Structure formats: structure tokens, C-alpha cells
Structure 1
Amino acid sequence: MRNTVVACLVVAAAACFGFTGGPPRSVADTNALVVAPDGSGTACTTQEPCALDTARDQARALVPGATGDVVVELEGGTYRLTSPFTLGVQDSGRPNHPVVYQAAAGQTPVLSGAVRVTGFSKVDATKNIYRATVPTGVDSRELFVNGVRADRARGPRNPSGLSVTATGFTTSAPSYTSWTNPAQVEVVENNAWKQMRCPLASITRSASGGSDLTVDPGCWNNNHNSVPNPSFPFNGAGLPTLDGITWLENAYQLLGTPGQFYLDGSAGYLYYVPRAGEDLATADVELPVAPELLDASGTPGHLAPLNDTDWRAAYTGSWAYSNGRHLGDLGADVHYTSTNGDAVSYTFNGTGIQVLSETNSDEGTADVYIDGNKLSTVSGNGPERLAQQAMVSVTGLSKGTHTLRLVKTGGSYLLVDGFTVIPDVIAPVHDLVFSGITFIYATWNAPTAEGYVDNQAGVIWDPTTRTPTRIPAAVQVHRGARITFTDDVVQHTGTSGIDLADQTQDSTVNASSITDTSGIGVAIGEVDDYYQTEPALMTSGNTISGSIVQFPGQEYQDAVGIWVGHSKGTVISHNDVGYTPYSGMSIGWGWGWASNCTLQAAQGLPNPCLHGTTYTGGNQILDNHVHSVMGALNDGGPIYTLGGQAASSEFAGNVLSECIDGCNMIYHDEGSSLWNTHDNVVRFSNGSLWTNLWTPSIHDDSIHDNYSDTASYNNNGTNITFQQATVVTDGNWPTAAQAIVNAAGPGTLPGKVVDDDDLRVAYTGSWSSSGSRSTGDLDNGVHHTQQNGAAATITFTGTGISFLTETNSDEGDIGITLDGVSKGTVSANTPDRHSQQSLYSVSGLTAGQHTLTVTKLSGTYLLVDGYTLS
């Protein structure tokens, strides 16, 4: 039933979790280079360390003659970057002998993209606003104080009195007209599964004496008037628009709340309202300025199809042009001919080209010529209509100018739908290892001028080309192979965390921590390479394992913890993913694109059939703990799958828990197919369905041998092998389910603070969870019960523990048991609400394993907020 071989291998690999990615390579190796934050010169030794760029350049020369790995050892300290550390194909290692960038033993090298800000003085005593000077012209959307993210100045949620106009919003309140720098103000709306942002163009007095908030016209068009909607395979049928304001952001006049800032870059001032206990004379105030921290890039870069109307395409003969066919064509149009001998020529600069066409029973043959020489004969004949098929795929040409000529030779029709130019040799950056390195502080400023045009899950629309793109990452790999991140930390970014992009293959994120990102935590793959037939141009063989991915989407709340687009052979295993504003993981793309026309019709889609193929398949989502999700948006879930698979994929051993709002716990959404979904545990679903297969385009999935604390589900899929979950009440999980809980995630999480949704905490009786309460809870959530006798038990290793809860007038007495011995009762009853209160604490225990149980005895509620260990 379980894929026990894979599961056991992953457990073994993650057993030393705590961010120990295996023993470091020895610096005594003759291929070792030593760097330091203040390194200089060219010696690159322990006695005379050099700069990071110098070591990289020297490593290039060492690789060809090295008998083993080439090691670049980073001494501890902060390496301040204003631009990314870059690695190209020439910086690659060799198979089994990578170039390794690793932390020196016992030290913590930090690659930082921030400048430290000092010299604050109070400028507004009433609002407690402080100000410091920064370089004129500096731009950033983020600020971190003592390692804690500050918010850009923002107003209250869902401000009243604002209504939509043809150009933005209006209100009867005249106060908005006094705001300075109105073009820096942003309107933000959370709508369904999307977050949309637009800068204002102006704030003016309305005819009625109120305020007109005119939104930047380009952004208003993209987010309100004409939201990009190409449909399958790029987006679905739903189209939330910017038609309200969840909050207004980035005006000096909004300052006043502790922990908020305003940057006036043109004047060279940073304003901040300190939180309680923050002393700005000694605080570490970091302003991110670098857009990226690490860039490892092969060639070519991103590949995307160009439409058949591209200016380089020359059609000769009796070609016709059809627009608006709604049959899945790229750009909803094609060129076609029924005359043999008609041709299309396309002159390009590069090393290869692909031609997208259509297969169907009335399609025929064509001859392919490159630079006047016949290369092959291809056929578009097939039993069903399939759009955007790579009829022609030519690679390996010498880099330079070439001309493709495609000549119709048979059949009723030849269709041309698009061209993908391969501009450079296919040469991945490869065999690199990054171990024990912290990547911290980066910013992405494009939304300040262009807005944020959301599609879904951190995949956005380029505001100019209106084609798919993604939030950039602090750590980016473009067309990589055998790139490994192990025992690394990525945190506090205004970007996504790690992105394995542009058909990266056989690469790994292992035993690492990716937390507090504005965008996606870890991303793999692309959304616009679904048609690929060339293995070298597919995303494949990548792994995310044994890692912590928490608090993604801290600025762009549609972003998810782990995102995977089109891919094959991807393994996502033994990770802890949590505290997400939208879904925990989003796996796959394309909606119903790979579902046949009959299934699309059964779904009731308005177009005849938008149907093509994908190479996605053979993926494994195993033994993850995904929790505390959907904190801001809805219509998602802990793990969300989308689009078809070309080969069977496995979804097993996952513990999915603590939905905050708008969840489907196991969410196989539109087009999801060939999933073997089994042996998962669903708990604390808070009224959500344990699984939702809502429409007929979801097909050929097997759902069996799962466990859930709710019986509610929806199965409207096609050809689904479905077995109701074993429904468990009052936390009485059977042995098999408890074994899944015990094996999920990366193992015991590091640190001395244990949140209420940690897998070490077992709840018996009738419990629920709540998140996004904004009442000061640890990690903004609690578990709670109203049932006397309900208990929470934690087994821990250490010498002491403190139990954290909330006290309030509706709380009562709590029984305490330690290692099976009663320790009496404590009371959580107080006249007012107080969060994160330690009501029971013990120290001096014998070092080893202990068990603490808290039991509700009286009052309306008992809340469990967490524990601190010693």
C-alpha cells in the first residue's frame, strides 16, 4: 500500500535534520579555497582569505584538473551584496565532483542583500514616528528590525465609504487629498484566491468635495477592466478582479501603528514606528536593496512560444488566418493552408527552433528545411484534435542565424500556431553544492511602479506582455542540473525563496529552512512548457526533502509554500510546510487542458474544447506535514493539485491539518488526473471537505486508505476509484494512522519553541483549531476545546517545559500531569484576555524524554498555544 522503500530512504536522509546536511568537505583538500566577508587578495587560504568572487574565478581554473571536489569555504560573518553572486556554465563542477560552497566548520556565513540603517531620531511624538536618513533614490518594499518583518504603512482593513469608479475609487471623505506622494500609495485587494495591487496615479478633490483615488491606468486595465484571460493552459474560468479595497498601503499619513514603516526614497528618509521593547539606538534595522542574492544560470534562459503572427514568420502561398477559434490555439489564432507546396519561413538567431501546430485526422505531412537543406518530414495526423503540439523540434544547430522552412506536402491541412526559438546552446549550469549558507534580505520593486497582476499561487501576468511569469526569488537557478542546496537558510525576503527554474533537472533542496518570504517558498518548473517533447527541455528529477517552508506570502498573499509547475519525476517529501496565507503546496498547472473534450463538455465549459498535452507525471508527494493554511485567501488547501498528469503520480503519507478558512483538505482541482492518493491523515479541517473532486474533468484518480476527522467529501470526478476515509473521532487515531503522523515531516523541528500544531502534540477529545486571530497567539493560531476531559499531550526531550495558553474570563481550570503524575491544577480565568501566558512551568528534570498532559476541567474554553522547552 505505501511506497515503503522510498519513504524509508527519505527518512534515513532526513534523520539528521536540524540542518546538518552531512559532513563538510575538508578544507585541507588541495582544491579548497577560503573566503571571508572582508577577504582580499588572491591567496584564498585560511591565513589570507579572499573575496567570494575571487574564489569563484579561481575555482574555474581548478575544476578541469581536480581529482575530487573543488571546495569554496565561507568563513562566518555577513557578506553584504547589492547584486547577486552569479555562477554560469563555466563555474560548474563535474558529475560526482561538484564545486562546493560551504560554511566553515562551526561558522555561519550570511549573504545579505540589505543595508543597515542607523541614526534614528523621533520626528513625531504623538505617533511615536522615528526617522533616519538613507541614500537618496534608494528603493525597497521591505524593512526588518531585529530580524522581524515590518509592514509598510497601511490603513485599516476594508476601509468604509470607498466605491468603484471608471478610473479607480471615490469617497466622500476629503482627508485623502492631504496625503503626500499619492503615486506611491497602493490599493490592495484580496479577492477569492487572488491578491491584486495597483499604485495610484493621483488623489484629487471630487466634485462633491470628497476624494477621487485614480489608479494607475495600465494597472487598472490589467487588474480591473481587462484581466488577462487566455484560459487553458494558462488560467481557469474564474476571474476575480480588483473591485474593492482590502487595505490602502504606503502613505506617510497611515503611519502610527507599531511595526510599520514608510520609505521616502526621493527625499532620502526612512520612517518607522518602533514596537514595544525596540530601541532604535541599538536595534539591527535592515533595509533590503538587492533584488537577488544568488543566480546560477545555464543557457539558454527562459523559453516561451511566440505566436504564429510573429513578424519573422513569412507565409507564401494561399494561407488563411483564423482568429478566435477557441480550440486551444496559442493566442486563440492560427495560420492554415490546404494547398500542397505552401510554405512558411522563419529566420531566427540561435541553435534550434520548435514549431507548434495541431494534430487531427485532417492534418497531413510537411517537409522541414533548415538553411535550404531538407531535414525531415513531419506529420500532424492523429486520431483527435490536440492543440499546440510540437510538430517540429530542431536542436543542436551551430549558434547563429538560420532559416526554417516548412512546406505542406500532404493531408487536408497544415496549421502553424507558434514558434519557440532556442537562442543558445543547451548547456545547464551543473554540479554545484551550497551547504550551511544563510541567504537573507532581498527586495522586488517592480510592483511599486507596475502593480501586481495576479493569476494564482505566485504565478502572475507580466504587466506589459501579459504573459505568465513568477515572483522572482532571492536564490535562483535557471537551467540547472545537479544543483544541491543542503543545510541552508533562506529567510526575510521581499521575493520568493528558492526557484529551480527554466527546466532545471536532478536538483535538490534538502534539510533547509525557507521562511518569511514575500512570495513562494520554493518553486520548481514552469507554466509555459507543457508542449515539450525534448527531454533536455523538461523540468525533471528534482527533490525537496526534509525542509521547513513556513510563512511564505508575507507580502503577496496568493503565494504558496511549495509550488511545482509542469514537471516529471519530482519528489516532495518529509517537509514541514505551514503558516500560509493561501495553499500550502500547489502542484501542477493547466486546469483541464489535458482532459479530453468529453470531460470538458461534462464540466460545462463555454468553449468547444481547449485540449492539448503535457509531459507532467511520475511525481511523488510523500510524508509531508502541511498545516495552518489559508490564513488570508480561500479556495485552496494544504496540498492542491491542478491539471493532468501524463503518468501516474503518488500522494501518500501526508498529514494535512489546521485549515483556517476556505479549504479543501486534499484538493484535486480541475483536470487533476492519475493521482494515487492514499494513506494520508486529515485532521482539524474545521468544517472543510477532507477531499474535493468537484468536476468531471478530474479523472482517473485512485483515492483509498486515508484517515480523516470528518466524513465530508465531494466526488464528482470521472472514473474515480474512491474509498471513503476511515473517519476518526476525538483524536483516537488507529495505529496505522498514528504511524503516518509519526513519520511525517522532517523530524523534530529545531528550536525550543513548540507551536500548538506541532506533530509532537496529540489531542484527545473534541478539539478545533483557529488561525489568523490577531490576538497575539504564538504563530497567530491556537487549538481549543469546550469539552471537559479533553486533553493535549506532548512528549518531548529535555530538562524542562512551559505550557503556553490564553487567559480570559471564559477560561477555567486545567489539570496538569507530568510523566503520569498529577501536578495539580492551574487556572486560566482572568478578567481580561492575555495571550501566550505560561501557566505551568517545570525545570531541572532528568535529561531525557518526558510527557506533559493538560486537561480541561472547567470553564467554557481551554486553549493550547504552544510550549517552550529547556
Structure 2
Amino acid sequence: MTEFHVDPSGDDSWPGTAERPFASLHRARDAARELVRDPARTATGDVARDPARTAIGDVPRDPAGTATGDVVIQLRAGTHVLTEPFELTEADSGRDGHRIIYQAHGYGTADQEEVVVSGGREITGWRVEDGVWLADVGDLDTRQLYVDGRRSERAALDGLPGTVTMTETGYESDNAAPRAWHNPADVEFVYRGVYPWTEARCGVATVTTRMDSGVTAGITTGTDGGEVTVIAMAQPGFGWALDLYNSAWEGTINHGPGLPTRVENDVTFLTEPGTFVLDRSRPGHHVLRYLPLPEETPDRTRVVAPVLETLLRTSGTSGVSFRGLVFADATWLRPGRAEGFLHYHGSGYYEGGPIDKVELVEGQAWVTVPRESARIPACVVIEDGVRVEVEHCRFTRMGAAGLELTGGADVSVRGCDFDTLSAGAVSVTRAVNPLVEDNWIHHTGLEFTGSPGIAVQGTKGCVVAHNQVEEVPHCGIVAGPAEGTRILRNLTVGTMGVLADGGGVYLSGPQGDSPENGAVIRGNVIKDTRTPYNFALYTDYGAAWVTVAENVVTRADNTAVLQVSPPLENVVYRGNFWDADPIGVADVPAGVTYKDNTTLPDEEKLAAATAAIQRDAGLLHPRSR
């Protein structure tokens, strides 16, 4: 085994030994790359060595100069600040069955060190005005702020004041308050529940005043010559929202996003301690404002603004491991652009293009949906990886999703913690035989509330097992069209905390084409699915070739549903336990087999009958933070 050491207090001109470590991950990566590419070298990088020596970093090598075994980059305690994404390519792969390993020093022992890989910037130079902290931050742009590790919310209002009407370009109001907004172009409107499963965001362009008399656009302005507040929304986002969000339900037709449920990021909203505003009214001279909690002081409180959007990206890399690291402090700026964030479902959002009308109930209910969607990115991306391992890492304080696995084969995510994320935790697409196991996912989807905890789509042989997903705003585990997915012995608690029409475990679309390569949902425990419209264990929208067996569902609005549109095909519900019958049990549709399931409304009897299943579900190695 060959070792390199990295310490925030090191120096990249040093040889990377324990006594003289590198300062940066990039330098360690380059040293490992040179070693693997040219094993005859007797120097690390450009640091001259005695040619007679047979060690790199004082680690033995064979006489021919070939590195023996794995290459391990040991990261010492502290915050390793990235000023650009850390990228690995095929050239950074392990060779001859060996691995290149990035790990916390002491990994797996009682002496494991706390290593944070951060894309953030510490904010200093505060001045205090009327109890508010102010810092000049240049051209810094961010949507999140972390104060002593706590996520600070952007200052906000609950909706718009006064009588408000939506127009084709924005809104008109009889209330003068928006005219006092310090910089309307900083303000963002949030639309929770445009569809029950959707939360969108659109920016404001301008706020002006128009003199009017009588009634205009449905607003009574009072006396002749009254003033109307005119809010023009940023384009093309608002125009796209008018095109995208249209529906009919129970005789009511809805057009556009409607009125905002929340209005964020203006100086005049800064009244709640612990919140912040980023004032960008002077380009290149942005000012961060923070209203502190009572116990916080500028000299003792650490405030970090995430800067990078990507912390780590591997592309075409094989035989690489990441162990015991904390990935933290990243943002995602795309929702703040003029296009807005026009969420549709899950991690998908609209970026223009064709829109289709989908009938939910023939002649009675329909929605318009995007033909194609973009996907919320992750701050750590493993693309086309082979035998890449992510073990016992933590993903936290991120403005998008935590980890994305896309393409590749035999990639695993084990024993990791995901928390304090603006979007979902783990996204897996187009991969072969990926494994997502023993991960603890909680308090995710804090900004993009439609995001699932774990999302799987287009994969073959994906296994999602023994994870614990709790306190998330929508679905816990989602599988779109895929082949051979196994969702086994997971525990979800407190899913569907904000939006509706989802579940603890949700599947949609074909999951294979035979019993041999179909999906299996077995041994999962789903508790406390919260919104008043949900299906805790939910096979939806043409799900096919699915076996749902030996699961436990309790304390949900609806345990499951057998009758959906498009209908289920070759779906088997067998040996499950719940505290209420699924919808559709009285008239099981032709595409569903429903047998040997048990309904026990009594909570104690249900717990006793399912003790073994509940004991085996959830984390293999429970932990707390």
C-alpha cells in the first residue's frame, strides 16, 4: 500500500508524507495519478527524489519501482476548502484490481478524524446596524447560509398582502407594501401545491405603481385616482408557469401558478431572528444581512456561505473509494435565474418545450405536464463509474441534491448520512447493479420540497436495502421505470411532510417485462405518512411487473391503492400487513393479484404480528447525530 497525506496546514510543494503533507486534494490526486500512470517513477509529482530510493511518501515499493497494493490518500482533520470542483477522470482509476482510496485519517477506528470537504466561504468583517449584521461580500451569490452549522432560512413573508390578482405578466394588488421592497429583483415567489405534488419558484422583475380608478383586473382601488401596485414577474419563467400549470378537477379549471404562498429575500422581510437576506442591488457589491439569534455574536459565530455548486465529480473512474469524509457547503443557483424553478414531479423541473395534457379522470380531471424534464443536480456526482465505493460519508449543508450516481456499474453507497439538503439525498440513473444500503436520510428537500429521499430510474438490478428515510417533505423512496429493482427492508418514518400524492415507497411505470426481472418491494416498514392525501405504499401510473410482499404500513392517510390510471399490470400484493385496507380491495382490478394480506386496525396487534419484519427493517448500524 502506498500512502499520501493531505492536511489543510500542509504545503503542495512537500512530498505528501505524514510529516510533510500536501495541502490540497488536487495535489494528492495528481501524485496518485502520476504514480499509477508511470510506476517506474521515484518521485511524487515534480518533487525531486534520490533515484536510488524505492519509496514514495516513505512507503515501500518493489525494486522495479512499481507501487504495491492500493493507493491511499489520508485526509487529516479539519476543513479542506475547495475553490474549484474536485474532479477525477479515467486517469485517476485504480489499476490491476487495486484501489485509489480517499479517506479520513484513522478511518474505521476510534481515532478517526473529522474531515470536511467544503465548497463554502466563511463570512467575516461584520458590522452591526440596528441589531442586524452586515457584511460586504463582493459578487458572492448564494441561496443558503449556515450559522455554526445550522441552516439559516432566507427572510420571507407568508404570501402577498392585500387583495391580489394574477395577470398574464404578474400580479396587481391594492396594497402598497411591495413598493417598499429594497430590490424587487432579489425577491422570489414560492408556489406550494400548484399541483398537490408540486412546488414552484419564480423571480420578480419590477414593482411599479399605476394610477387607476374604480375596478381594474378585479381589484377595487377605492376612490378615483387610486394607486395599484403592479408586480412584473421575471421572464421567461412566469410565462412558462402560465403554460405549464393548468388543470381541471371537480368542475374547477385552474390556470397558471396562482398566488404565491411565500415571498422570500428582501431587506424589509428581515424580522425573524436567525434569518438572512442577500442584497444584490449593486452588482459586484453585494451585501449579506443576517438577523442573529440572541446568543450569537459576530466574533464567536462562524457563518459560512456555500459558493461551489459541485464539490466532487468523477467521470469514467473505476476502482476508487471515498471513506469517512464529510461533503458540505455547496449551493445551486439555477432557480434564481429568470427561468425560475418550475417543478413538476420528484426531482424534475421544466425548462421550456412541449407540454402535454394528461387525462386523470376521463372528461372530468386533467393536468398539463412537461413532455421532458430536467433533473435537479447533485453536489457530488459519480458518472459512468465502475466499482466506485462511497462508504460512511456524510452529505450535509447542500443547496441541491446530495449524491448522484449516473451510468456505470457496481457502484455502492453504504453507511452514509444525508441531512440538511435543499433537495433529495441519493439519485441513481442508468446504472447497472448499483447498491444503496444502510444510509440514514433525514431533513432533506428543505428548499425543493418535491424531492424524494432516494430516487431510482432507468437502472438494471438496483438494490435499495436497509436504509432509514425520515422527516422528508414528499416521497421517501421512488423508483421510476427500471428493470429488476429490489427495495428491501427499508424503514420510512415521517414522509410526505409537506406536499401530497406520494408515499413512503413509490413506484411508477414498467419495472421489467417478466417475473424474473420485475421489481420486488419486500420487508419494508412505512410509518407516519403525513399529508391528508397519500398512499404510503404506492404503485402508480402504469406500474407493471411488481411484487409487493411482506411489508408493514401504519398510520397513513391511505395504506395503498390498487386502482390507478394508467392501470397496474402484473402487480402482486402478497403477505403485507396494514392498519387499513388499501383503496380498491373491494373490486381488485384485472392487472392486480391481491392475496394473503392482513389488515389489523389495532396498533398493538399489528406490532405483535409484525415484530420480526419491523426488527429487520431499517439501518444495519443505527446511529444518531
TM-score normalised to structure 2 length:
0.83
Structure 1 residue 278, shift from structure 2 partner? 2.6
Q: Which residue of 2 aligns with 1:394?
A: none
Contact 1:666 1:692 (C-alpha < 8 Å) held by counterparts:
no
Q: Which residue of 1 aligns with 2:522?
A: 652
Q: Which residue of 1 aligns with 2:623?
A: 750
How do 1:394-405 and structure 2 match up within 5 A?
Answer: none
**CA-to-partner distance for each residue in 1:719-771, whole Å, 9 max, x for gaps?**
2111363122132236551111111111463237xxxxxxxxxxxxxxxxxxx
Q: 1:279 to 1:731 in 2, by over 3 A?
A: farther
| Counterparts of 2:502 and 2:162, CA distance in 1 | 28
- Residue 509 of structure 1 aligns to a residue whose secondary structure is strand
Q: Report how many residues are paired.
A: 541
Corresponding residue to 1:255 among 270, 273, 277: 270
Corresponding residue to 1:485 among 390, 413, 423: 390
Q: Which residue of 2 aligns with 1:515?
A: 419
Contact 2:507 2:538 (C-alpha < 8 Å) held by counterparts:
yes
Q: Answer with 436-445 or 205-214: which moved more.
A: 205-214
Contact 1:671 1:699 (C-alpha < 8 Å) held by counterparts:
yes
Q: 1:264 to 1:734 in 2, by over 3 A?
A: closer
How do 1:167-186 and structure 2 match up within 5 A?
Answer: 167-186=169-188
| Counterparts of 2:380 and 2:353, CA distance in 1 | 25
Q: 1:42 to 1:721 in 2, by over 3 A?
A: same
Q: Which residue of 1 aligns with 2:351?
A: 462
Q: 1:676 to 1:178 in 2, by over 3 A?
A: same
Q: Which residue of 2 aligns with 1:678?
A: 549
Q: Which residue of 2 aligns with 1:117?
A: 123
| Counterparts of 2:495 and 2:16, CA distance in 1 | 46
Amino acid at match of 1:550: H
Aligned-residue sequence identity (percent) comes to 29
Q: 1:212 to 1:157 in 2, by over 3 A?
A: closer
Amino acid at match of 1:434: F
**CA-to-partner distance for each residue in 1:246-290, whole Å, 9 max, x for gaps?**
111111111111221001243331111122433333111111111
Corresponding residue to 1:277 among 295, 313, 319: 295
Amino acid at match of 1:244: L
Q: Which residue of 2 aligns with 1:433?
A: 321
Q: Which residue of 1 aligns with 2:340?
A: 451
Alignment of 1:204 onto 2:217? no
| Counterparts of 1:160 and 1:619, CA distance in 2 | 50
Q: Which residue of 2 aligns with 1:628?
A: 494
Q: Which residue of 2 aligns with 1:721?
A: 593
Structure 1 residue 62, shift from structure 2 partner? 2.3
Contact 2:161 2:175 (C-alpha < 8 Å) held by counterparts:
no
**CA-to-partner distance for each residue in 1:522-573, whole Å, 9 max, x for gaps?**
1000xxxxxxxxxxxx421101100111111111111111111111100000
Q: Which residue of 1 aligns with 2:223?
A: none
Contact 2:416 2:438 (C-alpha < 8 Å) held by counterparts:
yes
Structure 1 residue 461, shift from structure 2 partner? 2.5
Corresponding residue to 1:619 among 477, 485, 510: 485
Amino acid at match of 2:593: T
Q: Which residue of 1 aligns with 2:445?
A: 553
Which segments of structure 1 move beyond 6 Å, counting only runs of 4 or more?
A: none
Alignment of 1:711 onto 2:581? yes
- Residue 544 of structure 2 aligns to a residue whose secondary structure is coil
Structure 1 residue 239, shift from structure 2 partner? 9.8
Compare CA radii of gyration and give the structure with the larger one: 1
Q: Which residue of 1 aligns with 2:428?
A: 524
Contact 2:162 2:174 (C-alpha < 8 Å) held by counterparts:
no
**CA-to-partner distance for each residue in 1:269-325, whole Å, 9 max, x for gaps?**
11111224333331111111111111111xxxxxxxxxxxxxxxxxxxxxxxxxxxx
Q: 1:431 to 1:239 in 2, by over 3 A?
A: farther
| Counterparts of 1:70 and 1:173, CA distance in 2 | 65
Alignment of 1:148 onto 2:150? yes
| Counterparts of 1:228 and 1:483, CA distance in 2 | 43
| Counterparts of 2:509 and 2:303, CA distance in 1 | 43
Q: 1:453 to 1:207 in 2, by over 3 A?
A: same
Q: 1:524 to 1:653 in 2, by over 3 A?
A: same
- Residue 733 of structure 1 aligns to a residue whose secondary structure is helix
| Counterparts of 1:707 and 1:464, CA distance in 2 | 44
| Counterparts of 1:490 and 1:664, CA distance in 2 | 29
| Counterparts of 2:304 and 2:350, CA distance in 1 | 30
| Counterparts of 1:463 and 1:139, CA distance in 2 | 25
Q: Which residue of 2 aligns with 1:88?
A: 89
Q: 1:295 to 1:163 in 2, by over 3 A?
A: same
Structure 1: give runs of 5+ residues left out of the alignment.
1-28, 230-237, 298-427, 526-537, 590-615, 753-870
Q: Which residue of 2 aligns with 1:585?
A: 477
Q: Which residue of 2 aligns with 1:740?
A: 613
Q: 1:160 to 1:430 in 2, by over 3 A?
A: farther
| Counterparts of 1:480 and 1:202, CA distance in 2 | 46
TM-score normalised to structure 1 length:
0.60
Q: Answer with 37-46 or 71-80: which moved more.
A: 37-46
Q: Which residue of 1 aligns with 2:460?
A: 568
| Counterparts of 2:589 and 2:124, CA distance in 1 | 59
- Residue 482 of structure 1 aligns to a residue whose secondary structure is coil
Contact 2:3 2:73 (C-alpha < 8 Å) held by counterparts:
yes
Structure 1 residue 464, shift from structure 2 partner? 8.1
Amino acid at match of 1:587: A
Q: Which residue of 2 aligns with 1:73?
A: 74
Contact 2:161 2:177 (C-alpha < 8 Å) held by counterparts:
no
| Counterparts of 2:256 and 2:69, CA distance in 1 | 56
How do 1:171-570 and structure 2 match up within 5 A?
Answer: 171-191=173-193, 192-208=196-212, 209-226=227-244, 241-265=256-280, 266=283, 267-297=285-315, 428-449=316-337, 450-462=339-351, 467-501=372-406, 503-525=407-429, 538-570=430-462
How do 1:158-173 and structure 2 match up within 5 A?
Answer: 161-173=163-175
